[in-house]
Amino acid sequence: MTEGETQKLLPRLIQEGKFALFKEEIENVADLGRNVRQKHFGRSGDTLLHYAARHGHLKILGYLVETLAMDIELFNNDYKRPLHEAASMGHRDCLLYLLDRGAAVDCLKKADWTPLMMACTRRNLQVIQDLLQHGANPLLKNKDGWNCFHVASREGDPLVIQYLLDVSPNIWNTESKIKRTPLHTAAMHGCLEVVKVLLERCSYEPDSRDKCGVTPFMDAIQSGNLDIAQLLLDKHMEGHAGTLKTLLSLGANLNSKDGKNRTALHMACAGQHAACTQVLLQAGLKDSPDSTGTHAQQLAKKSDLLQLFTDISISA
């Protein structure tokens, strides 16, 4: 077998978990330092450690580290370490092995993502717990200003959210570089149970705005998440008065506009969300022009949406 064929074979044997065959092939490699210990494979530049950690083969991972003396901090073209791979794929045994061997728990890959952030993308509570118990910093931010709580809020596991709040009670008080909160993120991605936890345990302002003037309520409406929009409306009303007099506060909230002078009604119509549009119109939101002179009704294309405006006009 040629050297080139051997180089293709080694990653494949690791992916398939064929430890015995892998060891046999290693014995045929002439220069371990150049062809194994420091070798980067494919476009991503992964090392054999990356393959072992990504596919969860602990025995092979241990062999590479202990017998072949590979450096556990080797990184690929995206600056991913093997720990990132184990955390991302939820391979707890590989993750704990690397941490016990001294892997840097807060190592950064491209765009400043930590292994903890990667673990939060998979909603794996045990792996998240392992990383935090080994000293991971939950408050670190990536290049976009997201910490792990932002990531977890997008993924939608309320147990992960509850745990992160337990270990770091102020972790919710964060904004991205464009001033988006975890509540914005959860509302946009339809994570109802997470929104419930955030409203119960965190002190978000009902009308917090990002740099474009968008509130979590607007995000929910634009994404068609009517249940979340209603929940945010209820929370807004409760926080402003707590009586039927809150109809005035409701009007103020509904008429919030973004940087382009668009209301939630514009966003609901642009997304062709009939149910959301109906709630807004019945709540008293009046159609108005945005900065280009466009009314929300002009964005409505579906017949059921257009009928809502007709019905409102007739009842008026």
In this structure, are 210 and 311 located in the same domain?
A: yes
Mean pLDDT of 52-79: 97
Q: Which of 204, 223, 258 finishes a domain? A: 204
- Name the domain boundary from 165, 180, 204: 204
- Confidence (pLDDT) at 276: 79
Looking at 204, 222, 248, the residue that finishes a domain is 204
Structurally, the chain folds into a number of domains equal to: 3
Q: Which of 194-198, 209-213, 303-307 has the highest mean pLDDT?
A: 194-198
Cβ-defined contacts of 66-74 (< 8 Å, 24+): 68/26, 68/32, 68/36, 68/37, 69/37, 70/36, 70/37, 71/37, 72/98, 72/101, 72/102, 72/103, 73/103, 73/104, 73/107, 74/38, 74/47, 74/49, 74/50
Same domain, 209 and 160: no
User: What is the mean predicted confidence (pLDDT) over 26-39?
Assistant: 79
Residues 130, 100 share a domain: yes
Element (H, E) at 306: helix 303-315
Q: Would you state the pLDDT for residue 233?
A: 79
Q: Which CATH number does the domain housing residue 279 bear? A: 1.25.40.20
Tell me: do 262 and 145 sit in the same domain: no
pLDDT tens digits for range 255-309: 778 888 888 888 888 888 888 788 788 878 889 999 999 999 999 999 999 999 9
> What is d(CA 56, CA 77) in angstroms, rounded to the nearest whole number?
21
The fraction of the chain above a pLDDT of 90, given in percent, is 65
The model's pTM is 0.81
What confidence score (pLDDT) does residue 298 get? 94
| Local confidence band at 50 (pLDDT 50, 70, 90 cut-offs) | very high
d(CA 267, CA 270): 5
Host domain of residue 194:
138-204
Q: Are residues 196 and 90 in the same domain?
A: no
144, 211: one domain: no
Give the tens place of pLDDT for each residue, 121-148.
998 999 999 999 999 999 999 999 999 9
Kindly indicate the confidence band of residue 91, based on its pLDDT and cuts at 50, 70 and 90.
very high
Alpha-carbon distances of 12 from 34, 252, 310, rounded to whole Å: 19, 61, 63
pLDDT of residue 254: 65
Q: Please check whether residues 15 and 124 belong to one and the same domain.
A: yes
| Mean pLDDT of the region 32-38 | 78
Q: For residue 244, what pLDDT band results from cuts at 50, 70 and 90? A: very low
What is the chain's length?
316
Q: Is 134 helix (H, G, I), strand (E, B) or coil?
A: coil
User: CA-CA distance, 101 to 91, in Å (whole number)?
Assistant: 16
Residues 176, 209 within the same domain: no
Same domain, 166 and 212: no
196 and 105 belong to one structural domain: no
My answer on whether 159 and 190 are in the same domain is: yes
Q: What is the pLDDT of residues 12-22, one digit of tens each?
A: 999 999 999 99
Let me know whether 15 and 131 are in one domain: yes
Q: Which residue, among 278, 248, 275, 252, has the nearest Cα to 263 in the 3D structure?
A: 252
Q: What is the pLDDT of residue 316?
A: 62
Q: Is residue 287 a contact partner of residue 296, using CB atoms and an 8 Å limit? A: yes
Other CB atoms within 10 A of residue 68 CB: 15
**Dmax (CA) of the chain:** 86
Dihedral in degrees, nearest 10, Cα atoms 69, 71, 76, 81: 120
> Which of the pair, 28 or 158, is modelled with greater confidence?
158
Mean pLDDT lowest among 129-133, 220-224, 250-254, 257-261: 250-254
Task: Give mean pLDDT, residues 37-61.
Answer: 95
The pLDDT, as a whole number, for residue 28 is 81
Least confident of 134-143, 209-218, 244-253: 244-253
